[in-house]
């Protein structure tokens, strides 16, 4: 698996993804628009799914749009450096999938006359309120705090009630370093463990943001809370050592753990993850390692693109919620077995047939449809479920 990741990194560097890479195609006479895309790790499966949708589908449908991608943003400094580089490249807006300091990021973009939005993610109410009245901040599209919390809780409920085993390890990802999505998922899962097995030794809120691994016993189970991104070499090393030195039955992860595939398979640990619909997860379901996915899908960001397109084509003011930046809710698709996953996979990853297609997006873009409105955009974004997507595709 590491070899595959290394090859992918090499390919991406050749393509110029390390800074701002752009693609030029015929625009059919339409004005060109450059949009920055800020991501946390170009090798992450979810990021790959989003990128493939933007480059392989959106770019072909809307050739007048040019995307400028970041490489890997792992700190507030990385984020600001990308914003500076993107602005220097002449972007009109930023679709971000990671935020370390929303107020600072929005303020910088506003100072340059650049639109900014969190295209798929979750922020605290305080962070949103601090920038909600800024005209250059479009808004947030994503699960929101309660859906994130429930996603973690539902996964814990499933593993406790439906899976065999009494030794658990919970990977909290970036919960300890400000990733609100991971924090809320971890809180939700830990609340369920506390409900079933009693006192965890310290508060759920404190455990969710622990910076060091915590091993505890509750009722008749063992539970380890393990922080950090396993895509980072030091964390991966410690995580491998932990999995090899302790006999775990079940892994609950608040993020993608594709770098841990080999050790999970070798140790025979069953895994659940809040992640995305990807080829990696499809293969893991097939070999029995993965047994639960709550996931996003590539085209889920279609409405976010439509919102940014409206802004850069001069209609940003018409797509606000009572004059403020919007908050639109998109949750997860869910698969508890291989069949469920495979049934949803094609629509989740399809380039030619997908959950949010050209006609869907044009219907909420003012340039293409004079009747487009914020209400229609919000309704489309929030009709994210697999069943609703199937109805749109006539299935």
pLDDT 10s digits, 3-19: 344 344 334 433 333 34
Q: How high is the pLDDT of residue 18?
A: 37
Q: What is the pLDDT of residues 329-388, one digit of tens each?
A: 999 999 999 999 999 998 998 888 999 999 999 999 999 999 999 999 999 999 999 999
Query: What 8-state DSSP symbol labels residue 57?
Result: I
Residue with tokens 């609950």: 252
* 3-class DSSP assignment, residue 203: coil
Q: Is the dihedral of CA 3, 346, 150, 161 positive or negative?
A: negative
Q: How confident is the model at residue 23 (pLDDT cuts 50, 70, 90)?
A: very low
Q: What is the pLDDT of residues 64-76, one digit of tens each?
A: 999 999 988 989 9
- CA 268, distance to chain mean position in Å, is 27
Helix (H) or strand (E) holding 284: helix 279-287
Question: DSSP string spanning 135-156?
Answer: TTEEEEEE-HHHHHHHHHHHHH
Q: Is the pLDDT of residue 275 over 60?
A: yes
Name the burial class of residue 322, with classes exposed (0-12), middle (13-18) and buried (19+) by CB atoms within 10 angstroms of its CB.
Answer: exposed
- 90-94, 172-176, 201-205, 260-264: segment of lowest average pLDDT: 260-264
Contact call for residues 304 and 95 (beta carbons, < 8 A): yes
Which residue, 299, 284, 292, is CA-closest to 346? 299
Strands (E), 205-335: 214-218, 221-227, 250-253, 270-276, 290-296, 326-329, 333-335
> What is d(CA 35, CA 304) in angstroms, rounded to the nearest whole number?
12
Residue with tokens 């050592």: 241
Contact call for residues 252 and 168 (beta carbons, < 8 A): yes
Helix (H) or strand (E) holding 69: strand 65-69
Q: How confident is the model at residue 292 (pLDDT cuts 50, 70, 90)?
A: very high
> What is d(CA 291, CA 159) in angstroms, rounded to the nearest whole number?
9
Q: How high is the pLDDT of residue 187?
A: 98
Q: What is the pLDDT of residues 226-271, one digit of tens each?
A: 999 998 899 999 999 999 999 999 999 999 888 888 999 999 999 9
Q: What is the pTM of this model?
A: 0.88
Q: How high is the pLDDT of residue 288?
A: 87
Phi/psi at 371 (5° precision): -90, 0
- CA 162, distance to chain mean position in Å, is 26
Facing residues of 293 across strands?
A: 273, 335
> What is d(CA 83, CA 162) in angstroms, rounded to the nearest whole number?
45
Residues composing the chain:
395
What CA–CA distances, in Å, run from 205 to 156, 200, 272?
16, 11, 21
């Amino acid at each position: 698996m590491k070899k595959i990741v290394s090859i992918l990194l090499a390919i991406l560097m050749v393509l110029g993804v390390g800074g701002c890479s752009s693609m030029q195609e015929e625009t059919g006479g339409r004005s060109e628009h450059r949009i920055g895309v800020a991501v946390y790790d170009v090798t992450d499966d979810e990021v790959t799914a989003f990128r493939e949708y933007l480059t392989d589908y959106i770019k072909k449908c809307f050739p007048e749009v040019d995307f400028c991608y970041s490489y890997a943003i792992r700190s507030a400094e990385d984020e600001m450096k990308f914003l500076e580089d993107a602005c220097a490249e002449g972007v009109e807006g930023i679709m971000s999938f990671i935020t370390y300091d929303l107020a600072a990021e929005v303020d910088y973009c506003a100072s340059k006359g650049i639109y900014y939005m969190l295209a798929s993610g979750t922020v605290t109410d305080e962070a949103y309120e601090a920038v909600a009245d800024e005209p250059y901040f479009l808004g947030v599209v994503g699960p929101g705090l309660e859906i994130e919390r429930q996603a973690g809780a539902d996964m814990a409920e499933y593993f406790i009630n439906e899976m065999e085993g009494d030794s658990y390890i919970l990977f909290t990802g970036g919960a300890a370093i400000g990733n609100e999505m991971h924090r809320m998922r971890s809180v939700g899962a830990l609340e369920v463990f506390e409900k079933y097995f009693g006192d965890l030794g310290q508060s759920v809120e404190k455990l969710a943001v622990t910076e060091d691994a915590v091993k505890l016993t509750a009722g008749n189970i063992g539970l380890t809370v393990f922080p950090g991104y396993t895509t980072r070499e030091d964390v991966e090393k410690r995580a491998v050592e932990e999995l090899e030195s302790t006999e775990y039955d079940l892994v609950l992860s608040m993020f993608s753990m594709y770098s841990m595939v080999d050790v999970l398979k070798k140790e025979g640990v069953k895994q659940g993850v809040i992640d995305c619909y990807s080829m990696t997860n499809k293969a893991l379901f097939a070999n029995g390692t993965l047994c639960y996915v709550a996931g996003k899908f590539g085209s889920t960001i279609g409405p976010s693109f439509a919102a940014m397109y409206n802004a850069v084509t001069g209609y940003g003011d018409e797509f606000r919620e009572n004059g403020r930046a919007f908050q639109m809710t998109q949750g997860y698709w869910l698969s508890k077995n291989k069949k469920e996953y495979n049934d949803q996979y094609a629509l989740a990853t399809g380039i030619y047939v997908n959950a949010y297609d050209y006609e869907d997006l044009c219907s909420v873009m003012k340039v293409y449809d004079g009747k487009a409105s914020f209400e229609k955009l919000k309704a489309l974004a929030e009709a994210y479920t697999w069943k609703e997507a199937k109805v749109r595709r006539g299935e």
